[in-house]
Chain A
Amino acid sequence: MKILVVDDFSTMRRIIKNLLRDLGFSNTQEADDGLTAFPMLQGADFDFLITDWNMPGMQGIDLLKAVRADAKLASLPVLMVTAESKRDQIVEAAQAGVNGYIVKPFTAQTLEEKIGKIFERIDA
């Protein structure tokens, strides 16, 4: 499974990549904001997108909306991992079609749980 990890902080990308490798997902790529991520998504067959919200350039919420608006990418599972924790933000992300929402700081267990749930629901 090919996963794109989008976060403007390289330390957080490394953390998420390492956690994913621990969970058995070693085919990951990185982008530092929505503007670089979106062409990558369009150009390659990613199976899963993990994105931050607050990034310079293009924010994660706008990336999510762009993905849902793109015919080819519309059904791509998207997990948000972000420090944004206002209720209306979570509602906004849900309405935009996010598949899971994790608030930072998070644990390895939370990530595993949410990814598991997302694919459970997709497989069902």
Chain B
Amino acid sequence: MEQKKDKYADCLEHAKALVVELEAKRYAEADTLLSGLSRLHENGLFQEIGKLTRELHDTLNNFESEPRISKLTALEIPDAKERLNHVITLTQNAANKTLSVVEETLPRSEQLKKKAINLKTEWDRFTNRDMQVEEFRGLSNEIDAFLQWTAINAVEIHKGLSDVMMAQDFQDLTGQIIKRVITLVQEVEDSLVGLIRITGKNNMGKSTVEVQKPGKDIEATGPQVPGLKRESEVVNGQDEVDDLLSSLGF
């Protein structure tokens, strides 16, 4: 404010002097005064531009030095790509495993149906007393073989179905991974909104992005993704869990 007053006081003085010089027709002096006046004006303009530039520079610097943002771009976005690739791998493995078991099990159930239908036809002949003793001995052997075969195949079918069930564990693991990526996308969105806010005129100089930080002692980190492991921190499979626990006296 004080500066502005000074500036206009200067202007008035210059203007009065200019009138005096012009009335006296001293044009050389008048020219000097005129350029002095415009310099006064330009100085103000340059100061404004300088101020704006400095503010822009500061806010951009703030934005860059916000540690969350640099972590997002340097670590977490590439990590997210790895995570999503891992989701593809897990779902693909589960689909392949399931399809393999189905391909193996369908023929078994088909055979079961065929054998049972054949035996039923023979058995019906026997119950209708339409079978000789010699033939019945053969049927008896067939029934014996069928029961053995069924017992063995029931075990295989049970094993196959259990494998199909275990293959569904991908849903939990990929679900956890995808939830994390969604959180990350949300953060990126918030950061972009923050960027727009600080480059907008009205909020010049306002602080950047607020990111929620979990306050837990031990934060859940989700399923391990190959390629993202921090070797020493993370156990590699159930055997290492068991080793660690037994070292703790379990």
Using a CB–CB cutoff of 8 Å, the interface residues on chain A facing chain B are 7, 9, 11-12, 14-15, 18-19, 22, 53-54, 59, 61, 83-92, 94, 101-108, 110
Question: In the assembled complex, how far is the CB of residue A42 from the closest CB belonging to chain B, in whole angstroms?
Answer: 24
Q: Which of B218, B221, B248 is the most central at the interface, judged by chain A CB atoms within 10 Å of its CB? A: B218
Interface residues as binary, B140-179 with A (CB distance below 8 Å gives 1, 0 otherwise): 0000000000000000000000100110110111011000
Question: In the assembled complex, how far is the CB of residue A80 from the closest CB belonging to chain B, in whole angstroms?
Answer: 10
Q: Is the CB of B221 within 8 A of A86?
A: yes
Q: Is the CB of A15 within 8 A of B166?
A: yes
Specify the chain A residue showing the minimal Cβ separation from B242. Answer: A101
Q: Is the CB of A87 within 8 A of B175?
A: no
Specify the chain B residue showing the minimal Cβ separation from A60. Answer: B220
B227 within 8 A of A: no
Question: In the assembled complex, how far is the CB of residue B27 from the closest CB belonging to chain A, in whole angstroms?
Answer: 83
Q: A9-B175, A83-B222 are in contact. Are A15 and B245 (CB under 8 A)?
A: no
Q: Which of B171, B220, B238, B248 is close to A91, meaning CB atoms less than 8 Å apart? A: B248
Q: Is the CB of B241 within 8 A of A7?
A: no
Q: Which residues of B contact A22 (CB under 8 A)?
A: 162
Complex CA–CA separation, A53 to B216 (angstroms): 13
Q: Is the CB of B168 within 8 A of A15?
A: yes
Interface size range of chain B in the complex = 20 to 34
Specify the chain A residue showing the minimal Cβ separation from B232. Answer: A87
Complex CA–CA separation, A102 to B242 (angstroms): 9
Q: Which residues of B contact A85 (CB under 8 A)?
A: 224, 234-235, 241
Interface residues as binary, B52-82 with A (CB distance below 8 Å gives 1, 0 otherwise): 0000000000000000000000000000000
Q: Is the CB of A11 within 8 A of B233?
A: no
Question: In the assembled complex, how far is the CB of residue A81 from the closest CB belonging to chain B, in whole angstroms?
Answer: 10
B36 within 8 A of A: no
Complex CA–CA separation, A11 to B171 (angstroms): 7
Q: Is the CB of B166 within 8 A of A104?
A: no
Q: Which residues of B contact A94 (CB under 8 A)?
A: 245, 248, 250
Q: Is the CB of B220 within 8 A of A108?
A: no
Complex CA–CA separation, A107 to B165 (angstroms): 11
Q: Is the CB of A104 within 8 A of B173?
A: yes
Using a CB–CB cutoff of 8 Å, the interface residues on chain B facing chain A are 162, 165-166, 168-169, 171-173, 175-176, 216, 218, 220-224, 232-235, 237-238, 241, 244-245, 248, 250
Q: Is the CB of A90 within 8 A of B245?
A: yes
Q: Which residues of A contact B176 (CB under 8 A)?
A: 9, 54, 83
Q: Which residues of B contact A14 (CB under 8 A)?
A: 165, 168
Q: Which residues of B contact A108 (CB under 8 A)?
A: 162, 166
Q: Which residues of B contact A105 (CB under 8 A)?
A: 166, 169, 173
Q: Which residues of A contact B172 (CB under 8 A)?
A: 7, 9, 11-12, 83, 104
Complex CA–CA separation, A101 to B234 (angstroms): 14
Complex CA–CA separation, A1 to B130 (angstroms): 53
Q: Which of B168, B175, B221, B238 is close to A106, meaning CB atoms less than 8 Å apart? A: B238
Complex CA–CA separation, A91 to B233 (angstroms): 11
Q: A83-B176, A88-B218, A110-B238 are in contact. Are A18 and B245 (CB under 8 A)?
A: no
Q: Which residues of A contact B175 (CB under 8 A)?
A: 9
Specify the chain B residue showing the minimal Cβ separation from A54. Answer: B220
Specify the chain B residue showing the minimal Cβ separation from A99. Answer: B250
Complex CA–CA separation, A117 to B168 (angstroms): 26
Question: In the assembled complex, how far is the CB of residue A94 from the closest CB belonging to chain B, in whole angstroms?
Answer: 5
Q: Which residues of B contact A18 (CB under 8 A)?
A: 162, 165
A sample of 27 cross-chain residue pairs with beta-carbon separation below 8 angstroms, ordered by A number, consists of: A7-B172, A9-B175, A9-B176, A14-B168, A18-B162, A19-B162, A22-B162, A54-B176, A54-B220, A61-B218, A83-B172, A84-B221, A84-B222, A85-B234, A86-B233, A86-B234, A88-B233, A89-B218, A89-B220, A89-B221, A90-B244, A94-B248, A101-B245, A103-B235, A105-B169, A105-B173, A107-B166
